[in-house]
Amino acid sequence: MPELPEVETLRRSLEDALIGAQVVRATVRRRDVVRVHPSQSRTRRSALLEGDQIVALERRGKQMAILGRSNRVLCIHLGMSGQVLREPVTADSKATGVAAAHRHVIWHLERTGSSGTPGFTLVFRDPRRFGGIWTFPDRSTLTDERWSALGPDALKISSRGLSGALSGTQRAIKAALLDQSLIAGLGNIYVDEALFRARIHPESPANRITPAQNRALAQAIRTVLHKSLHHGGTTLRDYRDADGTEGRNASRLSVYGRGGQSCVRCKTDLINIMVSQRTTTFCPICQSVDT
DNA sequence: CCTTAATCCTGGAAGC
DNA sequence: TGCTTCCAGGATTAAG
């Protein structure tokens, strides 16, 4: 479920603590969760930033990159159930808690300059393991080999950028918006929310969207994402930021998860259909095929 | 070009 | 209560 606002909330919740911190040790408890770049196969420890200092956190679509001073990069994708948690190293009771399982990678970090600071850990957990961590020898390799496959970032999508993405395909617009190579960052929640806001039927062919609809949709995507970001993202069940805080946007969703309930705009019952193997909720009146 | 289905995986919920 | 079944979802892959 983590989509763009959740990943961006996570990134922001990590920035202050992580930038400038020194990675003392990285422990991998499940090897298949980490995809080490072929050029780094014999230096797995440094590939995981061991001995490195963290200098930046970036995001593109639903992916987050942790950049080291060495120029080495970790790219984290949360998939369905991934979490990155920051914990004080003194929190000994954590080991027996509910979140104790599925901790696949653990980093031990310290802040230099202030000796005596206890340090902290960063944990990647992912019960369902749809997510993972990809390592790259440098930033440009990440761009060339991984992020080049992504379309423009949804948070700042322009009307022009959106029409460029949609005009080349006659697939259902919902399917196109879920395709990360066309536009990066949207998942099932925010696609349904944006289409509702722009009053577009989810099965409309992407290339038959009118210029007015395209403008409305680009605006709706930005608004829906910014609104969620403002409320710390949407927590349906698993999502937490690095401090374990839940997002507060779930109660503000207009259509996602509200099939059978009444439309916030016209009071008609919202209906569920399947589009691209995904449950899709929309208002049959507000999002009719015409207009 | 397109769609559909299967696959990965776990845990919560629903059904019997 | 306790078992089985279903479903959720992001991304990739194969098949039609």
pLDDT, residue A89, reads 83
pLDDT at A95 over 70: no
pLDDT, residue A116, reads 67
pLDDT, residue A91, reads 57
Inter-residue contact A28 to A135 (CB < 8 Å): no
Per-residue pLDDT of A254-275, as tens digits, reads: 999 999 999 999 999 999 999 9
CB atoms within 10 A of CB A289: 9
H or E stretch at A124: strand A120-125
pLDDT at A198 over 90: yes
> Which two three-digit tokens encode residue A98?
């509910």
- A264: helix, strand or coil: coil
pLDDT at A225 over 90: yes
Per-residue pLDDT of A101-151, as tens digits, reads: 899 999 999 997 666 677 999 999 999 899 999 999 999 999 999 999 999
Inter-residue contact A135 to A73 (CB < 8 Å): yes
Asked if strand C comes closer than 7 Å to A258 Cβ, the answer is no
How many whole angstroms separate alpha carbon A230 and alpha carbon A228? 5
Per-residue pLDDT of A2-13, as tens digits, reads: 999 999 999 999
Q: Which of A144, A136, A143, A139 is nearest to A47 (CA)?
A: A136
pLDDT range class, residue A100, cuts 50, 70, 90: confident
Asked if strand C comes closer than 7 Å to A61 Cβ, the answer is yes
Nearest nucleotide to A274, CA against C1' atoms: B4
Q: Is A38 in the active site? A: no
Q: Are strands A120-125 and A54-60 parallel, antiparallel or unpaired?
A: unpaired
Average pLDDT of A182-207?
95
The integer distance in angstroms from the CA atom of A119 to the C1' atom of B7 is 40
The integer distance in angstroms from the CA atom of A282 to the C1' atom of C13 is 30
pLDDT at A22 over 70: yes
How many whole angstroms separate alpha carbon A220 and alpha carbon A202? 14
pLDDT at A96 over 80: no
pLDDT at A98 over 70: no
Q: Are strands A21-28 and A103-111 parallel, antiparallel or unpaired?
A: antiparallel
Q: Is A62 in the active site? A: yes
Average pLDDT of A26-45?
93
Q: Which residue has the closest alpha carbon to B12 C1'?
A: A237
Chain B positions with any atom < 7 A from a protein CB: 1-6, 8-12
How many whole angstroms separate alpha carbon A176 and alpha carbon A171? 6
pLDDT, residue A284, reads 94
The pLDDT mean for chain A works out to 92
